[in-house]
Amino acid sequence: MENFLALAAGLGLVWALGIALIGALFRFAPPRVALPAPWIAGCGWFVGMIATTLAMRALSVAGIAFGVVSIGAPLLAITAIAGWLAWRGRAAQLRGTLREAARALHGGGLDGWQRLAWRLIVAWLAVRFALLFAEVWWRPLYPWDAWTQWATKARAWYEMRSMVPFAGVSEFLSAPVDALLWFDAAPHYPATMPLMQTWSALLVGRWDDALANLPWWLTGVALAVGLHGGMRLMGFRPLAALAATALVNTLPIVNVHVALAGYADLPIAAYLALGTIAALHAIRTRGAGEVVLAAALLLSMTLVKNPGKAWLVMLLPAFVVAALPRYGVRIAAGLLAAAVFALLVGARSGVTLLGYKFYLQPVVHWGALFDAYFSYANWHLLWYAAVATALLGWRHLLDREVAPFTLAVASGLLFLFIGFAFTHAGQWVEDQSTVNRATLHLAPLVVVWMFACLRGLLRGSGEPAPAAAPAS
């Protein structure tokens, strides 16, 4: 119990740090800027996680040994200062936000069947997360890549109290005998998630490969909270926002990546979805705080997993459409065409990008792709629903509020298709491994797009597509 309390306090500090930093960021925002409490709370975990691991990197560079005090004391000080700045700047508004959040949690403001539906969905999600917590708490580190490519770093860094370097086979074998060099299957993988495991182990006081994975459960919870807040930020009603949250957090593949913790795919999916919502909100409001928060979430993808760099590039067409609604679709189409052309040229010369070697001759395993998305149980009916949404709402796919999400999803699907068809990743489609993990990155954003499109359909908007707008 003592170990659990220390672990809960340390991970709670990570979350509080992120919330405090976001609060301080918006201290000088105009009074009219009132972000939904779930948005601040959900994003707080992801901001706090990156801030904590950046602090650990700094300690390692400075030669200061990892420890509960050496890491926790600076984090606590930063949290206190940022929290004080946030409270001093907007105390009255923050009190109102907290009261409204407490009222909304049990369905306040909803009546009749909507309040009943709200409470049932919240209870359902609470039970689901309780069961997932038991899975993480009881199950040792299990997935293959988790203990050959990710947790190897965490275990070494915990034992050595520093970020000792890792190397590939050739570098490891050619290094001097006395070199302090470590080896695993993917030495080039980013350090963020292993550092969170290291912090967990330090809090527990021993290496426990089950308790070290508790950040994955908190990532699932934070994604649920943050996604609900993001949908509210987009103007969705509370029950619709909760429905989107429930859809994402009951996908089997999402639950698997919580219960079988250790991969970086769930965190990058969260950063991708929340970062996109934050960026599109920032483009609309042009507020400095919104821009900084969006940049922090999106850039963090590159620190979580290497494909985060590619996802960052693939989101550019969506941001162009949002920033330039008059000509954005045309510009975005040109960007996508240029990207495809560049990849084909690179494939002709056998270029390697992010560890994936491109080939000019595509090999598409259509049967395996169909099985992955439409036959097997990883996605329930998500992709059936996505196809139905596109068919029903095709007139609204390029409406001003929908077009950025349409471009983001289209770019993401194109990225996945190119990876599966033109690189050696195609072999992992047939064995149903990477195809689902890579698609998980995009899945929460697909749900957001579906709801945005259906809202346009229900409104019956007659707004012309941005591409059809007359020239000025």
Same-domain status, 161 and 278 = yes
> What per-residue confidence (pLDDT) applies to 57?
97
- What is the mean pLDDT of the segment spanning 15-23? 95
Q: Average pLDDT, stretch 173-182?
A: 80
Task: Please indicate, yes or no, if residue 392 is contained in any of the structural domains.
Answer: yes
In-domain check, residue 30: yes
Same domain, 38 and 170: yes
pLDDT band at 175 (very low <50, low <70, confident <90, very high): confident
Please tell me the predicted confidence (pLDDT) of residue 27: 79
Residue 339 scores a pLDDT above 80: no
| Residues 191, 272 within the same domain | yes
In this predicted structure, what is the pLDDT of residue 326? 80
pLDDT score recorded for residue 430: 80
Distance, CA of 146 to CA of 129 (rounded, Å): 21
Please state, in angstroms and rounded to a whole number, the distance separating the CA atoms of residues 156 and 71: 17
3-state SS class at 348: helix
Cα distances (angstroms) measured from residue 132 to each of 123, 124, 418: 14, 12, 34
Q: Among 265, 297, 329, identify where a domain stops.
A: 297
Q: Quick one: 14 and 129 in the same domain?
A: yes
Domain boundary among 264, 297, 330: 297
Most confident region among 108-122, 129-143, 334-348, 454-468 by mean pLDDT: 129-143
Does residue 286 sit in the same domain as residue 146? Answer: yes
Q: Please state which of the ranges 174-178, 221-225, 269-273, 307-311 shows the lowest mean pLDDT.
A: 174-178
Both 193 and 274 in one domain: the answer is: yes
Beta bridge partners of 423: 358
Tokens for 72, please give them.
């926790």
Residues near 317 by Cβ (< 8 Å), separated by ≥ 6?
331, 332, 333, 335, 336, 407, 408, 410, 411
- The residue out of 262, 297, 332 marking a domain boundary is 297
Q: What is the mean pLDDT of residues 212-217?
A: 97
Average pLDDT over residues 212-223: 97
Distance CA 216, CA 225 (A): 14
Classify residue 330: in a domain, yes or no.
yes
Within-domain flag for 438 = yes
Is residue 32 located within the same domain as residue 171?
yes
Nearest to 275 by CA among 50, 436, 467: 50
pLDDT at residue 471 greater than cutoff 60: no
- Pick from 34-38, 292-296, 444-448: least confident: 34-38
* pLDDT over 90 percentage in the chain: 62
pLDDT of residue 358: 67
Q: Both 246 and 285 in a single domain?
A: yes
Place of tokens 């950063």: 271
Averaged pLDDT score across all residues of the chain: 88
Q: Into how many domains does the chain fold?
A: 2
Quick: pLDDT tens for 264-300: 999 999 999 999 999 999 999 988 999 999 999 999 9
| Residue 373 predicted with pLDDT over 90 | yes
Which range is least confidently modeled, 148-157, 163-172, 264-273? 163-172
Taking only Cα atoms into account, the Rg of the chain, rounded to an integer number of angstroms, comes to 22
Give CB contacts under 8 A, 24+ apart, made by 429-434.
Answer: 429/365, 429/368, 429/369, 429/372, 430/365, 430/368, 432/368, 432/371, 432/372, 432/376
Q: What is the model's pLDDT at position 2?
A: 67
Highest averaged pLDDT of the listed ranges 262-271, 413-422, 428-437: 262-271
What is the distance between the alpha carbons of residues 85 and 461, in angstroms, rounded to a whole number?
43
202 pLDDT band, cuts 50/70/90, is very high
Question: Residue 415 is part of which domain span?
Answer: 317-468
Q: Tokens 């899945």 label which residue?
A: 443
| Residue 54, pLDDT above cutoff 80 | yes
In degrees, to the nearest 5, what angle opens at C-alpha 104 toward C-alphas 226 and 453?
A: 50
Whether 405 maps to a domain, the answer reads: yes
Residue 304 lies in a domain: no
Helix, strand, coil fractions of the chain, as percent rounded to 5:
75, 0, 25
First to last CA, the chain: 67
Residue 323 pLDDT greater than 60, yes or no? yes
| Biggest distance spanned by C-alpha atoms of the chain | 72
Q: Are residues 381 and 444 in the same domain?
A: yes
Contact 270, 46 (CB under 8 A): yes
Q: Are residues 251 and 382 in the same domain?
A: no
The Cα 393–Cα 349 span in angstroms is: 40
Let me know whether 216 and 347 are in one domain. Answer: no
Residue 12 counted as domain residue: yes
Name residues whose C-beta falls within 8 Å of residue 270's C-beta, 6 or more positions apart in sequence.
46, 219, 222, 223, 226, 444
* pLDDT in the model for residue 468: 32
Band (pLDDT 50/70/90 cuts) for residue 465 is: very low
Task: Specify the pLDDT at position 472.
Answer: 27
User: Coil, strand or helix: which one is 312?
Assistant: helix
Residue 422 in contact with residue 429, Cβ under 8 Å?
no
Same domain as 327, residue 277? no
pLDDT of residue 423: 76
Residue 88: pLDDT band (50, 70, 90) is confident
Query: Does residue 227 contact residue 444 with C-beta atoms inside 8 Å?
Result: yes
Q: What are phi and psi of 326, to 5 degrees?
A: -70, -45
